Amino acid sequence: MTSGNLNGNIAIITGSSRGIGRAIARRLARDGTAVVINWRENREKAREAAAEINAAGGRAIDIQGDVSVVADVRRLFEEAGNQLGPPDILVNNAGIARYRPIREVPEDEFDQVFAVNVKGTFFACQEAGRRMRSGGRIINISSTVTRMLLSNYGVYAATKGAVEQLTRVLARELGDRGITVNAVSPGPVDTELFRAGKTAEQIDRMANMAAMGRLGEVDDIADVVAFLAGEGGRWISGQVIPVNGGMA
């Protein structure tokens, strides 16, 4: 890792064609990191995100891959390595959510959410552990729902709880190489995906759950990820960091 900024580093950000992932890619690129925009289906948005970074003087490429498919995860790292070099930073941002009472969750839905959120994160961490240079950073995106009693969030909360435990174990396994592993745990963040299917009343109620009385913005999350990815995060590892504006 470089000192003071991220010049010369290489980052893979899964699920980064839009929303929080895109903001993270933009922020890391601004700090001098070459970034890999990973996408599953939305090629147009991914190309747009990479073009935006390149036009601003950064360096970005896009690579398609479904993180729920282990072969795709391995190909993502292989192609990134061939084009840019071994990664210094991995941000496991790709994730999906389905909301219904636990008693009503069908098996295929359970499998789908775990495949993306847990399996995808697990095997991306595995590849990073094999390929990442010493002194690297792995940052997993969790969620504040792991600490809240929210109906209909059972499967999603279970996946993020698994991600948090994986984070702690991996921090121990990779610590002797100077690689830090942390999780960032956002509260509600104002994205297109967050707003989908919610009424204005529901959105306001969730915003008011934060001490600061608003929804998070994507840059609120990206700034914390950038801190952990930089020199300032060198002595933080195995931690789950809430980034939620004071939400209980």
Catalytic positions are 156
Enumerate long-range contacts of 190-199, CB under 8 Å, 24 or more apart: 190/215, 190/216, 190/217, 190/218, 191/18, 191/19, 191/20, 191/218, 192/18, 192/19, 193/19
86 vs 236: CA distance, rounded Å:
22
Terminus-to-terminus CA distance in the chain, angstroms? 34
Side chain identity, residue 89: I
Distances (CA, A) of 200 to 55, 144, 195, 207, 246: 36, 21, 9, 10, 21
Nearby residues of 106 by Cβ (< 8 Å), 6 or more positions away: none
Nearby residues of 129 by Cβ (< 8 Å), 6 or more positions away: 170, 173, 174, 179
Cβ(17)–Cβ(42) below 8 Å: yes
For 35, phi then psi, to 5°, come to: -120, 145
Cβ(124)–Cβ(13) below 8 Å: no
Cβ(219)–Cβ(243) below 8 Å: no
Cβ(38)–Cβ(12) below 8 Å: yes
